[in-house]
Amino acid sequence: AESRNLNELRKLYQHQDEVLDQLIKKFQELYLLSDADAHSTALAHDTLAPVIHKKMKDSDKPGQRAWRILQAKMADYAVNPQSTILEEDDLALVVHGASGMRMWVSKEKELIDRSKKRKEELEAARKRNRRFRRVAVVVIAILGVISSIFWQLSEREKRKVEANNKFNEGRIMLDRDPTAGLAMMVEGWHENSADSAKLTMIYETYARGIFYEIVATTDGAQLNAAAFSEDGRYAAIGTDHPDRAIRLYDLNSGKIIDTLSGPANPVSSVTFFKNHYIFAGSLDRQAYRWAPNGSEMLAFKKQEGQDSSFVKQVAVSADGGRIATVHTDLAVRLWDANSGAFTGEISLNDPVTAIAFSLTDQTLWLAFEDGNIAAYNPKNQQTARYKMGQTAIRALAFSRQGNAAAGCANGQLLTWKANNPAKVLHQTQAHQGAIGALAFSADGNFVVTGSTDLTAKVWEVATGDLVNTLKGHTAAIHSAAFSADAGFLLTASEDRTVRRWSFAYPLPLQVAGEDLGYITDLDWLPDGHVVAVTRYDKQVSWGATRFQNPVVSDLEESPTTVIASPDGKKLAIGDENGGVK
């Protein structure tokens, strides 16, 4: 996105000098480049930069392919210039694409010259081999053996080139899909497993990456809505399948274990209440509740003589006793979740864009297109209204610890204490697209956002800092959730997949400053911030950012293992002679 001097551009593209000025003029006519300065160029707007970068990475044109191959190979050349060359296929692509990219810099020219020399040597060797075979016709048996040897060498070289190409394609893919990119890198390494440098790069990539597994697919049906059970084992998914039923998936097997029928039109919203009930809103103007085994269905129907409209969203109160449905006729209706009885209605002048119950009281919160949120008591009376964002709030979420978050159409994430919305704690430009999925971790320390920009992100609630970015989905993300034990994170997307991300929010890397000596074992306590460490000097220490004095120092034998109780109040310590304390 930086400005570029025209003289500099003419040096970089002197081989295309005849068309450079015409190109710049054409780009200015198309409003891609600014025409404010006659001596330099600059993008008309900085937001064009990522679009251009993506085009460069995805283009199959000769210049862009040559640029990508050189970019990848120069990384190896900078580390090991003596043994790094462009293989023949790569060299041909680079030379073919030279006119479509900038001038080669000195190091690139050096690599290409060495590669050409190597290619000439290989071609000369092949010519000598052919002459030798013609001369040695009289010794056919010997020639057969020699020909076989040369053929095997040639095939090995070809496989090596193909493996290198696959490995480099994987490296290029890492930026948009680390999981698929790493898989391709591993596949390329397996075809040339003697290359230890590639294996090292694979390990380094794995160490700094967050990866997914696809645990469910909708088999071609459009995914309209999704929700996850509290334990992370099940997913309820609404699609555009003709039967309009919700599919209940076991995410450990990826198989459909139940089909929940009832709605006459597509489902627009799905939510789990813990692991007990599944609630859904439909375009048939009704809401529904199913027991987990699908044996019981309850429909929340409109009153006799009263018109209704499509259900856009459904929310369940913290105790599971009430549900609220958002309708397209600017009404929010309240129902008894156990009997299905209609209990009240909130008539509004503006469309509701998000809805959620507070998890610490019975307050119902509504969000609107103008960025406002409003609180309603159990009597359906508005008790407060706050201006939160500049654009529509697309998602609301509350934690059991008393925090709240909102995701906006402009990609902003807002967090605040649920009892004090007037004071926003953190306001972050979290995404380039609208935030449509939002969820807190069970301990309330983290919040995950899912966006139309194809990414999910994990944020630390206390600081507002970004912890991780999850890349891989190819369409907008509908739903996201943490498992109750905080072991993994789940997302569902319009790309028709449900994905499970392991280690979705590891703590930032910290190194204890003390010399603890020889450590034999460690275990995290349930809060995820304190670790207990057994030491070979017959002591056990624990701490958060710094390890304090030993908490156990009267051991008779050296400890070998330690484990914390679920409540974090006890430690079990095993020693090298079979004893346990």
Between the alpha carbon of residue 239 and those of residues 278, 286, 316, 442, 459, the distances in Å are: 15, 17, 21, 28, 30
Cβ distance 488 to 502 under 8 Å? yes
Give alpha helix (H) positions in 59-105.
62-79, 88-96
Looking at per-residue pLDDT, the higher value among 261 and 524 belongs to 261
Mean pLDDT of the chain: 85
Confidence of residue 494 (pLDDT cuts 50, 70, 90): very high
Taking the C-alpha atoms of residue 278 and residue 231, their distance in angstroms, rounded to an integer, is 14
Phi, psi angle pair for 291, to nearest 5° = -75, 155
- Of residues 503 and 174, the one with the higher pLDDT is 174
Q: Over pLDDT 90: what percentage of the chain?
A: 31
Percent share of the chain, pLDDT over 70: 90
- Nearest 5°: the CA angle 318, 468, 548 is 85
- pLDDT score for 226: 92
Q: What is the mean predicted confidence (pLDDT) over 264-279?
A: 86
Least confident segment among 167-181, 194-208, 355-369, 547-561 = 547-561
* pLDDT given at position 546: 47
62-79 helix and 106-135 helix, angle to the nearest 10 degrees: 90
Alpha-carbon distance of 193 to 187, in angstroms, equals 10
Looking at residue 525, its amino acid is L
Confidence band, pLDDT 50/70/90 cuts, at residue 64? very high
Q: Taking Cα atoms as reference points, which of 498, 421, 488 lies closest to residue 458?
A: 488
The distance in angstroms from the start CA to the end CA of the chain is 63
| Whole-angstrom distance, CA of residue 38 vs CA of residue 296 | 73
Instruction: Please state, in angstroms and as integers, the Cα–Cα distance from residue 487 to each residue in 47, 119, 189, 327, 503, following that order.
Output: 36, 52, 30, 36, 6
Which among 426, 487, 417, 498 is positioned nearest to 460, based on CA atoms?
A: 426
Per-residue pLDDT at 508 exceeds 60? no
How many other CB atoms sit within 10 Å of the CB of residue 161? 16
Q: Starting from the edge strand earliest in sequence, which strands make up the sheet with 393-398, in order? A: 393-398, 403-408, 412-417, 424-429
Q: What average pLDDT does the segment 126-134 reach?
A: 84
Looking at residue 361, its pLDDT comes to 86
Residue 367 pLDDT class (50, 70, 90 cuts): very high
> Judging by beta carbons within 10 Å of its beta carbon (0-12, 13-18, 19+), is residue 121 exposed, middle or buried?
exposed
Q: Is 490 helix (H, G, I), strand (E, B) or coil?
A: strand
| Amino acid 452: pLDDT | 94
| Count helices and strands in the chain by DSSP H and E runs | 9, 35
Residues paired with residue 356 on neighbouring β-strands, in sequence order? 365
476 contacts 455 by C-beta, under 8 angstroms: no
Which of 282, 248, 277 shows the shortest CA–CA distance to 262?
A: 282
* Residue 510 predicted with pLDDT over 70: no
Tens-digit pLDDT profile for residues 296-344: 788 888 766 566 788 889 999 988 889 999 998 888 999 998 888 888 8
Q: Does the pLDDT of residue 517 top 70, yes or no?
A: no
In one-letter notation, the amino acid at residue 511 is V
Q: How confident is the model at residue 294 (pLDDT cuts 50, 70, 90)?
A: low
The token duo for 180 is 């698929």
Per the DSSP assignment, residues forming a β-bridge with 53 are none
- With tokens 């609301």, the residue in question is 396
At 316 the pLDDT is 92
* Helical (H) or strand (E) element with 55: helix 48-58
Phi, psi of 495 (to 5 degrees): -75, 5
For 210-241, the pLDDT digits (tens) are 889 898 999 888 999 999 988 888 899 999 88
**Cα dist. 130→40, 90, 126, 136, 146 in Å?**
56, 25, 6, 10, 11
Question: CA distances (Å), 44 to each of 266, 269, 433, 533, 577, in order?
Answer: 43, 40, 21, 56, 73
Write out the H or E segment, with its range, that includes residue 239.
Answer: strand 234-239
Residue type, 44: A
Find out whether 293 and 278 touch, Cβ atoms under 8 Å. Answer: no
What gap in Å lies between CA 74 and CA 112, rounded to an integer? 10
Task: Report, as an integer, the average pLDDT of 381-410.
Answer: 92
Residue 175 reports pLDDT greater than 80: yes
pLDDT band for 513, please (50, 70, 90 cuts). low
| pLDDT recorded at residue 511 | 54
Q: Under a CB-based contact definition with an 8 Å cutoff, are residues 362 and 378 in contact?
A: yes
| H-state helical runs in 240-289 | none
Of 331, 312, 332, 330, give the one whose Cα is nearest residue 322: 332
> Distance between CA atoms of 437 and 406, rounded to whole angstroms?
10
For residue 286, what pLDDT band results from cuts at 50, 70 and 90?
A: confident
Closest CA to 559 of 529, 504, 519: 519
Judged by average pLDDT, the poorest of 52-61, 129-138, 492-501 is: 129-138
Entry pTM: 0.61
Residue 172 buriedness (CB in 10 A; 0-12 / 13-18 / 19+): middle
